[in-house]
Structure 1
Amino acid sequence: MLSAESASVIRATLPAVGGALDDITTRFYATMFSERPELLDGMFNRGNQASGAQRRALAGSIAAFAGALLAEPDTRPDALLARIAHKHVAVGVTDDQYTIVHKYLFGAIAEVLGEAVTPEVAAAWDEVYWLMAGALIAQEARLYLEAQVRPGHPWREWTVVGRRDETADTVSFLLRPADGGPAPRARAGQYVSVRVRMTDGVHQLRQYSLSSAPGEDVRRITVKRVEGTGGTPDGEVSSLLHRTVREGDTLTLSAPFGDVVLDETDEPLVLVSAGIGCTPMVAMLEHLAATGSTRQVTVLHADRSPAAHALRADTRRLVDGLPDARAVFWYELGADEVPGARSGRLDIAGVDRMDVPADASVYLCGPLPFMRAAREQLLRAGVPARNIRYEVFGPDLWLADDTAA
């Protein structure tokens, strides 16, 4: 519900502000962390800070929200923020932190744009910010309440009751609540934050999808060790978990969150993944098997090779156990090692059209370029955009890239 006066100002200034958002968010984070370094301890992912992914995601969300307000000024686009709200509660964001962000963000806007930020311009963008913050605060309060955890404190200790090497660079951890109580309610497709203390004493958080059926008291997360490329460092949290965590150790996990969850309809289901993006898909398959589902299910997965395909045996077992399910795997190398596997990259056009019907509910998970390409193939196959949902690990750069484009 953007006021008419502010809408006029935002429409006039959005090109200038949008064009400067990368500079604004860069300065925003640099100043905030310089003056509030405690925020880097257990709140912000310093890997995403170093790569620029976090600032790109923030810039994209601000621009998208402002654009949505202009398109429909009489409504507040709360649905646009659902993914952000889930990420926030999974790391323990609280209401008061929006005031901190406001201070440094608007300071950065003033520094970057200078005299262009008149009182009228500042007031209009202030209105946009607090509309966005208000929507997030309301959603996050509801999510904390539903998860039955105190705002800012979604944490619980879990005991590692099993460790299984899935591939050379992927390991699964089986976890049980350390206090002996029941596991919190979860939905297939959700993730948890893992909070670990690094060797320099700073806590870092990473999100990992649950790769087991959500109804079980023993939960599983499957962690791929992130290898640095192009001069970027290896993933510090995934490397630490692989190197140090053994059966009997304790991990700090958040309650489960995430808005990309398996629907409870009888519509055909298509699960499309690549690499470690298979983890939420396996959780969905586990849930379907545990509940005796008779849905038509098609699993389409692409990977580097059979040896790199994490949870492959679990996927095959679950697909074979469902009454109306099939799976197609693509491998860049070694496809001939797996009966029925195909060589190369995922090609939905080569799949029987009956296995990817237009009325299917489709879930995507994997690297962003893969998901973009898969979505285009699905659209060409006749699946409507509204039926396609995606999960992204880390900041939502799909939204950021679409806004920039």
Structure 2
Amino acid sequence: MHWNRTRIGNVNRRLITGVLLALLSLQGRAETETDESKKYAVSPETYKVLNQSRELSDQSRFSKALSLLQAQLPKVADNHYERALIHQHLAYTHLERHDYLQAVIALEETLRGADTLPPDTVHNLRYNLAQAAVQAERFEQAIKQLDLWFASEPRPSAEAWYLRALTHHKIKRFDRSADYLKKALAISERQDWQILLLSIVLEQNKYREAVPLLNKLIAQAPNEQSWWLNLTDVHLMLKDYGKALSVLELAHRKFDLPKDQIVRLAQLYMHKNTPYLAAKLLTREMERGRIERNAANMELLANSWAMAREHDKEFTILKQLAAMRNDGNLYLRCAHILLSREKWNESAGMLNKALATNNLKNRQQAQLMLGIVYYNSGRMDYAESAFTRACKHHQTKGQAQRWLMQIKSQQKVDS
């Protein structure tokens, strides 16, 4: 929890001032004191110390204020009420100087005299102690005090529910934290609280619960790009690819997306069987310079054109990419396209480039294809050599042998 230092200082001053005014009122009614007023009366000396310490704190002279209060403690050792008041003012002074651990210690001392304090004061002190304990990272102690405070608080504020949620979140009790946050949000829909609840449900992989939270955040802050991207991620985790595509497509129209998100959008187009949109997107963004013409993006573009059955465009990209990587498998893909168009010589050239690399996976298939293109181009000696090499591989041996028989039959006819 992040304290608003100015606000906290003002709150503490109001608390101290309220105590002092009450004391002054009691002193002013000394002649008609009731038993109740006698119970909460203080000596003029203690009153003076409390008043001076407040004035010193108002001047940010905290060390002087603390010294003054500490010096008074031995003088009120037998007066449990005044001792509690001194510790209470010590606590508020420590809070003013943001020394939360010392504030916790002082508030604990104050509550040891709880039986001498008004019930409302004790109630408020428990809440103050819980706040200070959170700042001092003593979360179990904060939880204990909040449990006591909530037990006697008829109308907890949204801030109180949030504080309770935060303490449980800090010790990874996510279910309780989420329950308390929902109570806080039912009173006040603060965005930072919604974000904390979102982080909790994501921490627990409760992606379906995250969807309405992100939709609400988008409605509240439609120009915050991160919410759109987070919602896309959540839909992907739920394997709801159609909704992920819709959200990311809207985000692309609204924002200049990071390059990785543009690539992701293209991948989603392909996943939803709209590869033409993926190819057009990648082409446009490469031309604009918003995504690089690197090997990975160009391969995605080539695959997009392939799925869209735009094989001429696929070939153009594949040829560039194969040369960029010296990738035998890409050369082989180029050869397939050329072979399907009966461009025998060009296909043979691609196949020889593929076979010259060290990374070709399907070498036997390339040998068989090379024999076929040589055969169809009338280069029988080259075809026979390629088929003979293809016979050395189990996967292509049968086909290669049939082609060799066809060559021998053709040679007999020619002779």
User: Normalization by structure 2: what TM-score?
Assistant: 0.21
| Higher RCO (C-alpha under 8 Å, 6+ residues apart) | 1
More helix by share: 2
More strand by share: 1
Which of 1 and 2 has greater Rg?
2
